[in-house]
A and B are shown apart, each in its own frame.
Chain A
Amino acid sequence: MNKKLNLYFDNAATSWPKPEAVYGAAERQMREACGNPGRSGHTRTLEADRLIYRTREAIGRLFNIPDPARVVFAYNATDALNIVIKGFLEKGDHVLYTAMDHNSVLRPLGRLRRDQLITTTIIPCSFQGFPDLEYLESAYQPNTRLLVINHASNVTGTIAPLKEMIDSAHKRGVKVLVDTAQTAGVLPIDVQNDHIDFLAFTGHKGLLGPTGTGGLYVSPGNDLKPLREGGTGSQSELDIHPESMPERLEAGTMNSAGLAGLLEGINFIFDVGIKEIQESELKLRKYLYAKLQSMKSLTLYGPSDSNQAVAVISFSIENTDCGEIGYILESSYGILCRTGLHCAPLAHQAMGTFPEGTVRLSPGFFTREEDIDHLVHAINEIIRFTTG
């Protein structure tokens, strides 16, 4: 048996490691700069406000959002998706979403549907995870108001044809919500060029920041109904939450330590360059995919052309429980990955891996080729062991 390693292949769940500056900034914010953002006017508070503003600007620069007032911070992508879904939709609306969508989309929509507020139609996806665009064309109804797109699948890495789907929706006056949980910081995203109405992002994956950070972009002219109201440090004498963005959709003390870290994560992305990050992840996916492809009794899911995917690969091994594979990878080899259904049950149905699930490998920017070599060696040994 090999010497136990500590190899992380679960960047689609949360990225690790973070750039060194991320740890330092979050700690510094708590130790030295801690003031309650927005509350009272002493200098630490002002510093916290400035930090949050700079983080908004950085998000703006990353997604080409001209007005930082349209950048709203939230706990994570799930929270941001809920804010849009529950703040935008009204009784009687019809919503389109795809089979690749995550539970953070399926469940809030499911609640509204069960409460008989909305109706929904699922756009089926191919075995490789691509939405059926012909089906989409036929799925609109007169009351369709929103199309939700998972920019890239957290199960297969499949990148959705964003442009075609957005064009299709906009031709009918339907707004589009894009879930960038797997693509922010990894693929170039331009809300103006791509004509995105609502964008949800999470801070702790490709943006390399701490957990508990994320948010959304709300395009001008789309004022969402707030899900929560509370302290903002402004208009304190009124029992009316501020109407103007971004405070309209933010309430309570902001996660300034988390956002301090997130700012450094985004700065790291600017320093390296998003194109470089994209290329480096593409190279890793190609390398890993090619190695896995050559293995017998292993089934690979998702696009074989890595140009159509982010660095996420799902596989299963004939007659072997995927949870068992994950357990052996960790306990015998020190390799961390994720197994099971990955919070996207419809995606597994599309691939025929429901309810068993898959083993998911997601390298990140800091993964080295030699890490992949160790991983491949381990999987080879497991196959030899389990298939006799």
Chain B
Amino acid sequence: MVSSCYITFPTTFFAIRAESVLKNQPYSFKMVPVPRSISSSCGTALRCSCEDISALKNILLQNDLELEGFYRLEESGLKTPVATTLDLDH
């Protein structure tokens, strides 16, 4: 089962700012439309590997970004992915 993780943002500004802040960091990520199973304020989310999501979150917070949510999506065949809200503080 493949899973990927997502960070969502309260506004488009912060989505694009996140991309800009992270572009020189050694992590791979992609800006994607927010998956339907995640409800989010802003239409663009950041998709990354679940191993990296904590590190990315920390970098973004250090840069004063406002973030909205953190999710893991399980891809299982054709079924709608299941989004789990991640509590990254623990």
User: What would be 15 A-B contacts, judged by CB atoms less than 8 Å apart?
Assistant: A38-B12, A38-B42, A39-B43, A41-B32, A41-B34, A41-B43, A49-B12, A67-B64, A69-B13, A232-B11, A234-B10, A234-B12, A234-B43, A235-B42, A244-B13
- The yes or no answer to B60 lying at the interface (CB within 8 A) is no
B7 to nearest A CB, angstroms? 14
Q: Contact at B16–A49, with CB atoms within 8 Å?
A: yes
Select from chain A the residue with minimum beta-carbon distance to B15: A49
Task: Check A50/B42 contact, CB under 8 A, given A42-B33, A244-B10.
Answer: no
Q: Contacting A242 at CB < 8 Å: which of B33, B41, B45?
A: B41
Q: Considering the chains assembled together, what is the distance between the CA atoms of A142 and B66 in angstroms?
A: 37
1/0 per residue A35-55: CB within 8 Å of B?
A: 001111110011001101100
A242 touches B43 (CB 8 A): no
| B 47-90 contacts with A by CB, 8 A | 64, 66
Interface centre among B12, B32, B64 (most CB of A within 10 A): B12
Interface residue from A40, A57, A244 paired with B43 (Cβ < 8 Å): A40
Q: Separation in Å of the A101 CB from the closest CB of chain B? A: 31
Whether B12 and A232, one on each chain, are in contact in the complex, defined by CB atoms closer than 8 angstroms, is: yes
Assess whether A161 is interfacial by the CB under 8 Å rule: no
- Establish whether residues A50 and B10, one from each chain, have CB atoms under 8 Å apart when the complex forms: no
Given contacts A41-B34, A68-B17, A69-B17, contact A46 B10 (CB under 8 A): no
Instruction: Please tell me if the beta carbons of B33 and A41 are within 8 angstroms of each other in the complex.
Output: yes
A237: CB under 8 A from chain B? Answer: yes
Q: Do A244 and B33 touch (CB < 8 A)?
A: no
Q: A37-B12, A41-B32 are in contact. List 4 more A-B contacts (CB 8 A).
A: A40-B43, A53-B17, A69-B17, A232-B12
CB-defined contacts of B16 to chain A, threshold 8 Å: 49-50, 52-53
Interface positions, chain A 254-269, Cβ under 8 Å from B, are: none
B39: interface (CB < 8 Å): yes
* Shortest Cβ gap from A263 to chain B (Å): 14
Interface assignment of B14: CB less than 8 Å from any CB of chain A: yes
What CA separation (Å) do A272 and B84 show in the bound complex? 52
Identify the 5 closest CB pairs spanning chains A and B, nearest first: A41-B33, A234-B42, A235-B41, A53-B16, A38-B12
Dominant secondary structure at the B interface:
mixed
A215, chain B: closest CB distance, angstroms: 13
CB-CB under 8 A from A41, the residues of chain B are 31-34, 43-45
What is the minimal beta-carbon distance from B62 to any residue of chain A, in angstroms?
Answer: 14
Give per-residue flags for A238-255: 1 if the beta carbon is below 8 A from chain B beta carbons, else 0.
000010111100000000
Q: How many A-B residue pairs have CB under 8 A?
A: 66
Q: Inside 8 A of B25's CB, which chain A residues have their CB?
A: none
A242 and B10 contact, CB distance less than 8 A: yes
B20 within 8 A of A: yes
Collect the chain B residues with CB atoms within 8 Å of residue A245's CB. 13
Among B15, B34, B39, B64: residue with most chain A CB under 10 A: B15
Q: Return the contact of A38 from the options B10, B33, B43, B64 (Cβ within 8 A).
A: B43
Q: Given that A41-B43, A233-B43 are contacting pairs, would A50 and B19 also be in contact in the complex, using a CB cutoff of 8 Å? A: yes
Complex CA gap A235/B11 in Å reads 7
Q: By the criterion CB–CB under 8 Å, are B10 and A235 in contact?
A: yes
Q: Would you call B17 and A244 a contact (CB within 8 A)?
A: no
Bound CA–CA A242/B39 (angstroms):
16
Contact A233 B17 (CB under 8 A): no
In Å, the complex CA distance between A236 and B39 comes to 10
Chain B residues near A57 (CB, 8 Å)? 20
Residue of B at shortest CB range from A243?
A: B10
Contact A247-B33, Cβ < 8 Å, known A53-B20, A234-B43, A237-B39: no
Chain B residue nearest to A52 in the complex (CB)? B16
Asked if A49 and B66 make an inter-chain contact with CB atoms under 8 angstroms apart, the answer reads: no
A246/B19 contact (C-beta < 8 A), A40-B33, A67-B64 known: no
| Residues B12 and A233 in contact, CB atoms below 8 Å apart | yes
Q: Which residues of B contact A237 (CB under 8 A)?
A: 39
Closest A residue to B20 using CB positions: A53
